[in-house]
Amino acid sequence: MVINKILIGSFAKATERAAYGASIFKGKNDKIAVDQAALDEMRKELNKIDMKGKIVIGEGELDEAPMLYINEKVGTQTGESFDIAVDPLEGTNFTAKNLPNALSVLAVARSGNLLHAPDIYMEKIAIGPNLPKNIVDLDFTVRKNIELLSKSKNIKPSELTVCVLKRPRHDSIVKTLSEMNVKINFITDGDVSGAISVADTKTGIDIYMECTGLDLLKDEDRISGMVAMWRDSGEFIIFHCKAIILATGGGGKAWKITSNSWEYTGDGYGMATAKKTNLCMIIFLIVFPLKPQIQKRRQRVGFLVIKMPEGPQSS
């Protein structure tokens, strides 16, 4: 069934209000204030809508986020039931520094039709319009995807432009792209805007790539691979491997005061713990603010903890 057009307008207004709230703090270099303003405005607008809404992807779990947390009920609780995924402000850094490409994001579906996904990194790949279906695949190597895309567009790989989020976990992608002499457009934040950019021919970007994992696989007493998921389609991918390196945020939340951002949930640690695997090395690098209320002055303190378990190493 098609969602009522009046409701669609109301959902659009929720993102407009979030964008307005964020704009008040544009260029003021205050990530916390700009994010909170967008959150407040979106939640207030959602609660005006005649619906039984439930947040399935939001600002975190109840104990991590005071508003728009996972499973929070929104709307007047009368009318149709909807599952809602929100990111009131994707690109807090962009807005705080008065840079372009920040977005207010909201997705809505009837109850039971949106994946209730944990707040973790996921593999993503996106290409532009007017191309054959399934021309690229997350199961393919970076090299194969580039070769297939360039062949489909009837151009050399060196004529392609790939948008990649600049993170250490993507170094292997960048290495392959550089070896193929592919042009790279690095972005520092905003993976949604990166994925959308390939749909606009004016950007000159042909493909967007990003990697992540979802859950660990175990064969008897050893880790044997990882399950990943493409968020856009909900498809699961299985990687078979001899070892896993978990590059995950959230370790700093073990301390009362931490510079860890709210979106780093430490799910990598949770995946390892759930499988009762041995970690052959644990590294924490924590940055503490000198004074929590003064964000411009920071004291950098590093902690390195290495644990070598006895017996066979599982990862």
Listed in sequence order, the DSSP H helices in the chain are 5-23, 31-46, 92-96, 142-153, 171-179, 191-197, 267-274
Q: Determine the pLDDT at residue 312.
A: 43
Comparison of pLDDT for 136 and 245, the residue scoring more: 136
Pair of tokens at residue 313: 């190493």
Q: What pLDDT, on a 0 to 100 scale, did the predictor assign at position 144?
A: 94
Q: What does the pLDDT read at residue 304?
A: 39
Tokens of 268: 């990598």
Please tell me the distance from the alpha carbon of residue 77 to that of residue 31, in angstroms, as a whole number: 32
Q: Is the pLDDT of residue 310 over 70?
A: no
> Quick check: 249 pLDDT over 50?
yes
- Looking at residue 284, its amino acid is F
Is the model's pLDDT at 18 over the cut of 80?
yes
Structural domains present in the chain? 5-110 (3.30.540.10), 124-210 (3.40.190.90), 215-300 (no CATH)
pLDDT, residue 220, reads 75
Q: How far apart are CA 208 and CA 185, in angstroms?
A: 9
Cα 117 to the chain's mean position, in Å?
A: 11
* Nearest to 164, CA basis, from 180, 183, 179, 145: 183
More confident site: 65 or 194: 194
Report whether pLDDT(74) > 80: yes
Q: How does residue 70 score in pLDDT terms, banded at 50, 70 and 90?
A: confident
Strand ranges of the sheet holding 52-57, from the earlier edge strand across to the other edge: 73-74, 52-57, 81-90, 103-110
Position 289 confidence tier, pLDDT thresholds 50, 70, 90: very low
Q: How far is CA 127 from CA 134, 162, 202, 204, 218, in A?
A: 10, 9, 14, 11, 33
* Interval 162-179 mean pLDDT: 90
Q: What is the mean pLDDT of residues 237-252?
A: 66
> Residue 114 has what pLDDT?
87
Cα distances from 6 to residues 9, 34, 52, in angstroms, run 5, 29, 15
Q: Identify which of 68-72, 178-182, 281-285, 303-307 has the greatest average pLDDT.
A: 178-182
The strand pairing partners of 288, in sequence order, are 299
Asked whether residue 5 carries a pLDDT value surpassing 50, the answer given is yes
Residue 58 has pLDDT above 80, yes or no: yes
Q: Residue 288 corresponds to which tokens in the numbers above?
A: 């503490």
Token digits for 98?
A: 């008065």
Question: What band does 111 get if pLDDT is binned at 50, 70 and 90?
Answer: very high
Confidence class for position 1, pLDDT limits 50, 70, 90: low
Residue 45 has pLDDT above 50, yes or no: yes
